[in-house]
Chain A
Amino acid sequence: MTFATPWALLWLLAVPAVVVLHLFRRRLVERRVAASFLFPPERLVTTAGRTRTRLLRTPSLWLECLAAAMLALWLAGPSFGGASARHVVFVLDDSASMGAGAAKKAIAAVAARAGSLASCDRVTILRTGPRPATMLGPGDVPSAVPGALAAWRPAQPSHDSAPTLDLARELAAGGGEVVFCTDHAPTVAATDVTVLAFGSPAPNCAILTARRVPHTAGEDLVVRIGATGAVGGNELTVDLGDGVASAREAVVFEEGIADVTLRLPPGTGTVHLRLAGDALSIDDEAWLVPVPERVVAVCDLLSADARAALQVGRVFAATERVRFVGDPRDAQLVLAATPGTLRPGQLEVLIDPGAGERDAWRGPFVVDRSNGLFAGVQLQGVVWASGRGQLPGAVLVAAGKKALATEDAVDVGRRVRLDLDASVGNVVRSPDWPVLWANVVEACRAEVPGVEDPNTLVGGEVRYLRTLVAGKGDREVALETPDGERITGRGVRTVGFVPARTGVHRVVGDGGVELARVGVRFLDPAESDLRGLASGEWPAAPPSATADAATRDMDVERRVLAALLLLFVLLDWWVLDRARPAVAVPGRVR
């Protein structure tokens, strides 16, 4: 059996109090008698003021003791587990500004409130955000609250709390209570939500911009720092990683903004920026992971004659970040004369004019410029020699009714067909030829497995492109936070993760093998501005009669106890009334 208000069990002291009252101040019916010696002496108790006398075990005593016990139990709110009791839904503001001291106070307040609940009560903890997140519950036991709050680190950018509060209201429907812990005063009065604000205004500095700008001699580190409130200056520490000395830069703000530019030596790894401590620490740090090169793997399955005619070597020699591989499964770009098995994200270029006679086309050519492969391709003065076969797929380049280049619609990857006889005509010698292949390579570069952007923001998305090739170690991909927690992403080929913490995250594959690193920092000037924080408590309006009635309907134990209490009181009244003489007796008092 559990109690909603265990302290109310102290009311059980009313039972000995009733006994004491019966001992010292019994309210018995008084009857004048002609001779008291008619009563058996052993049944008489002499009363003398308020001195203690022998306790008379009257039905009234027992009934009053039982009534007092029932009252204490009723106040304590016992539960045998069958009936639901209070349901308190705590909504924690997960915005980063809560990290400026308000989070600790909120944790303490929630823990205190949960501690006052009975074990039969139910607690749900929600965390605000773009999407409401459940930290505990729904309907968990109050004892689980401290564990659920232990790892809470508010780090969300500013967001609307309304969806989370709406969810909380739904969860608390039927007599529940919603408690919203934040650091701002409520802008709109919510009569059904108790708002607890723990914020306090404070000046703050934040890293607004941090990026690595490459140039020929290496990289530049460009940092912009903003300040709100009375902040005169700060110190920026730049940690260039193991073996490289840290740099410190004094920051002086002008109109709340300070720009810092540093030269990074070549080969610099992850850069860690941090400001001197202030009210909010989450916006004082930034991590910049070097952007990995995305090298396109090309598999050339053309014959030597065709390769030579197409001048493949010349074209790709002029293209950066390209490598040739022998296994088409490892390539993002496959050059072939006949169709092969396409891999996810793979671009297969089939160059085959077919057998038979050739036609030479001088134009005019119709080019589908909406397709990125032919962006910038003019085909001016080009003589395109092609076979007389028909190409399947969507037309990319046509001369009259003749489709010269098409793109097949396939489930995975892309297949581009070129009806081109390179030995005839001047396509491969035109300026459009390397442009076309540059477009192809860049289109394939987007399909290179790995992290799309290694530096992102809290609340942003980390996108990792998998190979979907067995044995490549990326069958199971997860994002590992600096705390070691692994976040499971969504998606098949491109797996997306939404980091909620700052720091250097690791993208790990099968067996925990690191696939990439991601630097996550916080950026939200609105959250970094702590001048508008407030504290206070805005209690919810008293529950309506309907909700109150619903609660009572669920409280079976209390109803039973109330009935018993009423029964005992009525019985006591009846017993006392029955003890009255039927005829009025002079001098009789109660």
Chain B
Amino acid sequence: MAEPRDLAAEVAATAPRYRLAVRGPRFRGRIGGRRGHGVGSSMEFVDFRDYVPGDDLRQVDWRGYARTNQLRIRLTQEEVAPHVDVLLDTSASMASTGGKERAVRLLALAMLRWAQREGAVARVLALGAAAVDPAVEPFAGTATEPALPAVPLRANGIRVLLTDGLWAGDPTPLLRRVATGAAFVVFVQVLDPWEIEPAAEGALTIVDVETGARHEVQLDVATAAACRERVARLCDGLRATVLAGGGVHVRTSAADLATMCSRDLLPGSVLEPA
């Protein structure tokens, strides 16, 4: 496992160049820089309403009063810092290789950093568990069915799901529940390069890191192609489900943070230049 100090250094070197490209209509949260769910004190005009005593006189539309002799209040958009919940898949498959584990930890830490820079209240929640520290959280889960975190998710917040999506069970119910009440859902699927493009390596004994099952396989060209096809089909299914729920799906191959950001997250509209 990578040292937390190394992870933090890599995040510190790469994260400032990007910010979360969230597009949710209305967030909830503390005062911030994102358009909120309700009426606020930003400069963006929303509507007028009749004045009632107690309203802030600074919001009175004095120009309209001059024309119509009626006191009306200018309503502006609320600006908030959205809640960010990073849902981290802590199953053992996330650490099937060292590169994959490091990439997941980097992404989780980077998500926290980007959220904090927005002034948001961010936290990392393990699927089926509570808040965790992504730098040290061991990936040892063996559950075959994904589950929501044990703590409630905050409504109208940004929910980032960091997982490899390699569940034996159907992930659709989880994805729907994640999308429910969320302002914006980001599905980041992290896979090892070998999982995306398995090579014909000949005879192998494969060990399922979650179930411990051992199988021998002749990983020839045909088998590798079949594996690639099954992974692609799985990713397409996840992508379709996420997109149907209004979220964003990005599949990234485990690498260093800068590469993943520039190659996958930025084109996938998860990030935008800072």
Contacts and interface: CB of A to CB of B under 8 A. Distances in A.
A34 to B, nearest CB: 4
Interface string B99-133: 11000000000000000000000000000000000
Contact of A34 (B199, B209, B230): B209
8 closest cross-chain pairs (CB), A and B: A34-B93, A579-B202, A34-B96, A35-B166, A36-B208, A44-B215, A45-B216, A58-B203
Interface stretch (A176-184, A297-305, A551-559, A581-589): A581-589
A529 B199 CA distance: 85
Given A40-B223, A44-B216, A46-B215, A31 B202 contact: no
Interface string B213-254: 111111000010011001100100000000000000000000
A32 B203 contact: no
A47 B207 CA distance: 10
B202 A60 contact: yes
A46 B227 contact: no
Contact of B215 (A36, A578, A586): A36
A8 to B, nearest CB: 30
Interface in A1-56: 26, 28-40, 43-47, 53, 56
Contacts of B164: 34
Interface of B: 93-94, 96-100, 164, 166, 168, 191-192, 194-195, 199, 201-211, 213-218, 223, 226-227, 230-231, 234
A39 B93 contact: no
Contacts of B94: 34
A127 B213 CA distance: 75
A35 B217 contact: no
Given A38-B166, A38-B230, A30 B208 contact: no
Nearest to A36: B208
Given A35-B93, A37-B168, A38-B231, A43 B202 contact: no
A579 B214 CA distance: 18
A59 interface: yes
Contacts of A40: 223, 226-227, 230
Nearest to B192: A34
A40 B99 CA distance: 25
B192 to A, nearest CB: 7
Contact of B213 (A28, A36, A53, A579): A36
A575 interface: yes
A60 B202 CA distance: 9
A43 B204 contact: no
Q: Which of B164, B204, B226, B234: most chain A CB closer than 10 A?
A: B204
A58 B215 contact: no
Contacts of A585: 97-98
Given A35-B93, A53-B216, A47 B201 contact: no
Interface in A395-423: none
Nearest to B193: A583
Nearest to A22: B203
A33 B216 contact: no
B166 A34 contact: yes
B174 to A, nearest CB: 16
Given A33-B209, A45-B215, A575 B202 contact: yes
Nearest to B211: A36
Contact of A46 (B192, B195, B203, B213): B213
B78 to A, nearest CB: 43
Nearest to A45: B216
A578 B219 CA distance: 12
Given A32-B209, A34-B166, A35-B208, A47 B215 contact: yes
Contacts of B208: 33-36
B209 A31 contact: no
Nearest to B93: A34
B199 to A, nearest CB: 8
Interface residues of A, number: 35
Contacts of A46: 213-216
Interface of chain B, main secondary structure? mixed
Q: Which of A32, A46, A579, A586: most chain B CB closer than 10 A?
A: A32
Contacts of A35: 93, 166, 168, 208, 210
B3 to A, nearest CB: 16
A43 B216 CA distance: 8
A33 B214 contact: no
Interface string A567-580: 00000000110111
Contacts of A28: 203-205, 216
Nearest to B167: A35
Given A31-B204, A34-B93, A43 B217 contact: yes
B232 to A, nearest CB: 11
Given A33-B195, A34-B96, A43-B223, A58 B202 contact: yes
Contacts of B223: 39-40, 43
Nearest to B164: A34
A39 B206 contact: yes
A65 B223 CA distance: 24
Nearest to A53: B216
A585 B100 CA distance: 11
Contact of A36 (B199, B202, B206, B231): B206
A583 B203 contact: no
Contacts of A47: 205, 214-216
Given A32-B209, A60-B203, A39 B217 contact: yes
A197 B109 CA distance: 90
A239 B207 CA distance: 98
B202 A33 contact: no
A583 B216 CA distance: 20
Nearest to B214: A47
Contacts of B209: 32-34
Contacts of A31: 201, 204-207
A584 to B, nearest CB: 8
A192 B48 CA distance: 122
Given A34-B96, A56-B216, A39 B203 contact: no
A578 B202 contact: yes
B227 A38 contact: yes
Contacts of A45: 215-217
B254 to A, nearest CB: 11
Contacts of A43: 217-218, 223, 226
Nearest to B202: A579
Interface in A520-538: none
A35 B204 CA distance: 14
A54 to B, nearest CB: 8
B251 to A, nearest CB: 14
Contacts of B231: 38
A59 B94 CA distance: 32
Contacts of A37: 168
